[in-house]
Amino acid sequence: MRILLIEDDDTLGDAIREQVASDGHAVDWMTLLADAEVSARAVAYDLILLDLMLPDGRGLDFLRGRRSAGDTTSVIILTARDQISERIEGLNAGADDYLVKPFNLAELTARIAAVARRYTGNPNPLLRLGTLDIDLAARTVRRDGKKIDLTAREWRLFEALLQHPGAVLSKARLEEHLYSFDSAFESNTIEVHISRLRKKLGREVIETARGIGYRLQRT
């Protein structure tokens, strides 16, 4: 997934970015709401990790503004505030989940995965695609019980297609999903990863919509 992290604490922000990146996600980290606003308008993020108290404003005001603008991106609030009334306020403002600092980074990983599954319309982490058995939580793919090894970026690309069943995703949209602002990549990177995925998963798994993009096979 492409994730926007809004957190002004350098130590915590660095730890979260490292954890989320190690889980195979692309992360853009902003410490100011003004920068986060620009990023949220420029990129179709899959999820936002939002601190409530930022140097230039309140995270809840940012969240309310995004929701009033019609942005349905899933949001997990990260905050040191643990009052029930404040949790309710955050959820009523449009947050999907809430983690109180300090929290275990492994729990953050699980919360991100759970929210992502809910937004794809399938809370079950186990999927079947043709002859493939997919475990979204474990990030594994098997055919006839045999595990297929995917690199972090191959999984991330496959996950993007899984999150939009039946939809054609353009090359630009897939690049947004895979790479953060500070990432460098070649113009043919998506084509290369698609080719490798087809070799591993089967050529029929990923269809090409000529001149438009790619989608998973329709079952």
> Domain range spanning residue 148?
126-216
Q: Using one digit for the tens of pLDDT, what is the confidence trace for 52-86?
A: 999 999 999 999 999 999 898 999 999 887 778 87
Does residue 7 sit in the same domain as residue 98?
A: yes
Confidence (pLDDT) at 37: 95
Task: Tell me what the mean pLDDT of segment 127-148 comes to.
Answer: 88
Confidence (pLDDT) at 34: 96
Task: Tell me what the mean pLDDT of segment 163-186 comes to.
Answer: 79
pLDDT above 90 (res 198): yes
Does residue 115 sit in the same domain as residue 131?
A: no
pLDDT above 80 (res 122): no
Distance between CA atoms of residues 90 and 122, nearest Å: 24
Confidence (pLDDT) at 107: 94
Confidence (pLDDT) at 186: 64
CATH number at residue 32: 3.40.50.2300
Does residue 78 sit in the same domain as residue 112?
A: yes
Of 60, 86, 119, at which residue does a domain stop?
119
Does residue 180 sit in the same domain as residue 205?
A: yes
CATH number at residue 152: 1.10.10.10
Q: Using one digit for the tens of pLDDT, what is the confidence trace for 107-120?
A: 999 999 888 877 66
Of 119, 137, 153, at which residue does a domain stop?
119
Does residue 74 sit in the same domain as residue 13?
A: yes
Task: Tell me what the mean pLDDT of segment 204-216 comes to.
Answer: 91
Does residue 109 sit in the same domain as residue 10?
A: yes
Of 80, 98, 119, at which residue does a domain stop?
119
Number of separate domains in the chain: 2
Confidence (pLDDT) at 108: 95
CB atoms within 10 A of CB 166: 10
How far, in Å, are 12, 179, 180 from residue 184 at the CA level? 25, 8, 9
Confidence (pLDDT) at 175: 85
81, burial (CB in 10 Å: exposed 0-12, middle 13-18, buried 19+): middle
Does residue 20 sit in the same domain as residue 90?
A: yes
Does residue 46 sit in the same domain as residue 99?
A: yes
Out of 99-103, 105-109, 130-134, 182-186, least confident range: 182-186
Does residue 79 sit in the same domain as residue 180?
A: no
Does residue 91 sit in the same domain as residue 131?
A: no
Query: For the whole prediction, is pTM greater than 0.85?
Result: no
One DSSP character per residue, 171-184 reads: HHHHHHHH--TT--
Does residue 138 sit in the same domain as residue 101?
A: no
Confidence (pLDDT) at 66: 92
